[in-house]
Structure 1
Amino acid sequence: MSTEDALIVEDADGVRTFTLNRPDSFNSLTLQLKEDLLGALRDAAEEPKVRAVVLTGAGRAFCAGQDLKEHVGLLQANDPAPLSTVEKHYNPLIRTVTGMPKPVIAAVNGTAAGAGASLAYACDLRIAARSAKFLMAFANVGLTADSGASWTLPRLIGYGRAMQMLLLAQPVEAEEALRIGMVNQVVPDGEALATAQALAARMAAGPTTAYAKIKEAMLAAASAELDGALAVEARTQAEAGQTADHREAVEAFVAKRPPSFTGR
């Protein structure tokens, strides 16, 4: 385990867990935290020993989005940083999560707002505590969507519901989030991280390359015509078919034994 001021990184069972660790500020994102998280996620993407990733927050919140205290101070100082952070930090964060060649699971232990909620939407799966809530608060501070929310959220819950969340900035509770497909599972408070880590450990023992190819095909199909999606499916299926894990799975099926995946 290595610990930085605002980011905790832990490895266990092929799973790397990132904990946003600014609980007194509801894990809001400062410039330093954004840069630390981006670098750490990129490292996880390249590390073969990491076969699944969990993202969570310390304390009562998952992530409240942009640290507005830092933001307003920079605005008052006429610093250009607030106007460039979307391109320099938020967009790369979302690209890194969605393009991660291994599963990424959000353990939403409390409120997820703004860019924090968007970060959860970009993950492959979301486990929410019963008291968790999701808030698209951009309009409340005179801003529009960022961190991929205009793309990810409608694909999770539909255009109409996404527009309602963005325009009205009303929170969505965990049970409603489950009902409309925003999250995959709701668990009792205090159990979101353990549940997500157990799921991630199970996936870390699975066919990592196949998961990567599934993510690639799904991401391509989200904005492709049918022929384009079919072409990506054909390529990624051929690539997955050449892996040791595919051969192992077929041999295990024929031999009527559980497969032993290596991620290759």
Structure 2
Amino acid sequence: MNAVAALADTEFRILRRNRWLMISTILLSVFALALTLAGTTNSGALRVDLLTISVASMTTLAVYLVPLVALLMAFETISGDSERGALSLMLSYPVSRGTLLIGKFLAHLTGLAIAVIIGFGSAGALAFVLGEVGPESLLSLARLMCGAILLGASFLAFGYVISALSRSVAASAGAAGFVWLILVVLFDLILLVVVVWDNGGTFSREVFPWLLAANPADALRLFTVTASPDQALATGIHTASDLLPGWVALTSLLAWPLIGLAIARVAFGRRIE
């Protein structure tokens, strides 16, 4: 445990020195505040409070930005240390590869959580100042923050898998971009094409909701939507959430970081320096 804490502290210092923590926090804060201000024009038309509209918009923001930030933090974790010659030195210490991986993960997850809480929390504070916050919307914001952190944890783990399997930072960067494109962008487009082709058939009713929940990015949407009927109205994906048990989306968000870390540990263990 002491080794994990020491490694996590070292990695967190590196994260701060490289400005990743500051950049991530500023990026999420600027977009979240902008979306909250933009939501002032729509809250009256939909008859829901400002924070509900803001959370719906920030959910989409989280689906796109949080995985990207997580991958940028993680893609060179192993391959970058290998290129710089630091990995061989670290592996010469009496610390297991699993311990090394967990220490890095805790540091990166802490940095990501700080960025999410400050970024989305600032939007909640702005909505409160404008006087349009209700109990259900505060619950939605809290669920969004927790879900976004779990989503980031999934993509941190995916980044470690990529980094462990890549022999260079350039290869890691390319693979990370490909994974982000597939899971965050193309996955939904492919499902949309199939749903349109199915035209309300068995796939749309029985398979489509489960495939959505299987993708951590879409699981975040489903998890946030279940917070309140207003969120379902604002996001427009209430139909899919109604077809699934309430625990499915949360289970997906909790399971993917563990699955990803397990795969990363196996890939890291097979890497020869």
Tell whether the structures are fold-level matches, with TM greater than 0.5: no
TM range, smaller chain: under 0.3
Q: Which has the higher contact order (CA 8 A, sep 6+)?
A: 2
Query: What TM-score do you get using the length of structure 2 for normalisation?
Result: 0.27
Task: Report the structure, 1 or 2, having the larger strand content.
Answer: 1
Quick check: which one's helix share is greater? 2
